[in-house]
Structure 1
């Protein structure tokens, strides 16, 4: 893949951009990882959604939401052709920058193979490995 010139991440709430977010998640989680659709699409109305574009092309998606524990970062998905280009890192940075000032407890559930990625971005593993939607994860907390 040619080198990307520009990665842009925006918070989105309009139907057209939300459909792009959901299409990316559908391709990555439901299509590639066989996540059951009913587990993939929950808490949508209470979440803040993000769409990453690489040189103007939809490339990745993510969201955050407030839970009873704190602020949970979720649904980080980057289309296969854009992986390894910095899209995922820009998504994490944008989501963290958007959290409210009082977001003192920030966590996520990382797929096991993504642990090193999140560690480089300031998260650390907490607790045992667990299965979620048929995929192994670790809870990670922002240091």
Structure 2
């Protein structure tokens, strides 16, 4: 069973940070000093559980009047099975409930095909580096 919920308790936030640590710091080599940042408190955090196991995480912030999906990740062993769709749907619904018309994100280039499949379009002219990883900026009208 797949469940996505807002992470508001100490336990669910711990799960968010553990998934992010596993994906970004351990797997992708992002420095811990930039993975957890000063914007954590202003974000709405999401945790995805598959059969009770924390398997995905993300956060949503409002930036310049649009939703911004950040730190979207699925554990390596769980990728390719549609979990990301559930996570993004939950964030899109939250953004809509806040009256936002667009959801933007900076996608790692290897994830670009996934976001294109779920209705996002590239709006940056060139790929750019973030934490040493190539990204493109994408958005979707909600």
| TM-score range normalised by the length of the shorter chain | over 0.9
Q: 5+ residue gaps in structure 1?
A: 1-5
* CA RMSD of superposed structures (Å): 1.1
Tell me the distance in 2 between the aligned counterparts of 1:56 and 1:85. 16
Tell me the distance in 2 between the aligned counterparts of 1:61 and 1:55. 15
SS at match of 1:34: coil
Q: How many residues align?
A: 138
How far is the alpha carbon of 1:68 from its aligned partner?
2.4
1:61 aligns with 2:65: no
How far is the alpha carbon of 1:79 from its aligned partner?
0.9
Which of 41, 44, 48 is the matching residue for 2:40? 44
SS at match of 1:25: helix
Tell me the distance in 2 between the aligned counterparts of 1:54 and 1:41. 24
Q: 5+ residue gaps in structure 2?
A: none
More helix by share: 2
SS at match of 2:114: helix
How far is the alpha carbon of 1:14 from its aligned partner?
1.0
SS at match of 1:29: helix
User: Which residue of 1 is the match for residue 130 of structure 2?
Assistant: 132
TM-score of the pair, normalised by structure 1: 0.92
Structure 1 outlier segments of 4+, above 2 Å = none
How far is the alpha carbon of 1:80 from its aligned partner?
1.4
Q: How far does the alpha carbon of each residue in 1:87-122 deviate from its partner, in whole angstroms, 9 at most, with x for none?
A: 111100111011134211320000001011001111
TM-score of the pair, normalised by structure 2: 0.92
What is the correspondence of 1:95-106 to structure 2 with a 5 Å cutoff? 95-99=91-95, 100-106=97-103
Tell me the distance in 2 between the aligned counterparts of 1:98 and 1:69. 14
